[in-house]
Amino acid sequence: MTDPTPLPIADVPAVRSLLDRLSGFIFDLDGTLYIGGELIPGADAAVDGLRRLGKKVAFVSNKPIGTRQEYAEKLNRLGVACSVDEVINSALVAARYLQKHRPGARCFPVAEPPVIKELLDHGLRISDDPEQIDVVVVAFDRTFDYRKLNIAYRAALHGAELIATNPDRTCPMPDYDLPDAACMIAAIEACTQRKVHPIVGKPSPIMLQEALDLVGLQPRQCAMLGDRPETDMQMARDAGLTGMLVLTGVTGPDDLATLAVRPDCVLSSVLTLADACR
């Protein structure tokens, strides 16, 4: 049930008071720091300002169709200074999860090349033989077709584990949204009659732990900034982070009265955070 109480949009003094008790800031990317190829005003100044104040930062994305190096290069190109080691995406989290729980497993990726690269980089193997596949890894895949669906189905019949990178229904693009990993997950669940689990991206605690390990802090010391209530704010709420919702992505001012997951703080944009750091 949604709470009809209006959510106020935080001003600079309110955000500044949060800065005093927070030591780490975990940023979503698309819709929070940039939209497509355009920097959201104040994003560079916000990250720079946090660093000047001695705060830790991390960048997390559910999107598995680019490499972490590509995301780091994009941020730097747009003026947000970061290293690749500060970037986490759902492809990395899936690969690390399997490296820990199924080392050396033979994987069938319903996925694009960046996911395959992460799997190989973490000592996992790739197979399209349903009788040999240990794990089907489902991701946002713009090359998804009947062949991939059939291999995943047959692998499941032979006992393969089914996991996924992210639960997003759609992926925002500059001109229109694209069907995301939830669509591939739904197709595989429909034919196998099995749940795909775990889904390691936001709001999963698996992804959150990767981010917390990166910044070296406890949840109560950190804020999660993002534009999606069902992933970014849900992850914050579940783990006890301060959830800071920005209105520059999929959520706008008209949505605030009907949010299923309420944040701790609403920002018009990261520009407010940048101003609070001055």
pLDDT in tens, 215-271: 999 999 999 999 999 999 999 999 999 999 999 999 999 999 999 899 999 999 999
The residues near 172 (Cβ < 8 Å, ≥ 6 apart) are 30, 31, 35, 249, 250
Which pair of structure tokens corresponds to residue 273?
């955070």
Using pLDDT thresholds of 50, 70 and 90, give the confidence band for residue 14: very high
Domain 12-62+202-276 belongs to what architecture? 3-Layer(aba) Sandwich (3.40)
pTM for this predicted structure? 0.94
What CA–CA distance (Å, rounded) separates 99 from 121?
10
Nearest to 246 by CA among 6, 20, 17, 29: 29
Q: Which of 23-37, 41-55, 173-187 has the lowest mean pLDDT?
A: 173-187
Give the Å distances, CA to CA, from 249 to 35, 174, 267. 8, 11, 12
pLDDT above 60: residue 1: no
Instruction: Specify the length of the chain in residues.
Output: 278
Question: Across residues 170-186, what is the average pLDDT?
Answer: 90
pLDDT above 90: residue 177: no
Question: Across residues 181-207, what is the average pLDDT?
Answer: 98
pLDDT above 90: residue 92: yes
Judge contact between 75 and 60, C-beta under 8 A. Answer: no
* CATH superfamily name and code, 91-192: HAD superfamily/HAD-like (3.40.50.1000)
**Domain residue spans of the chain:** 12-62+202-276, 91-192
Which pair of structure tokens corresponds to residue 165?
């990178």
Judge contact between 63 and 30, C-beta under 8 A. Answer: yes
The amino acid sitting at 197 is: H
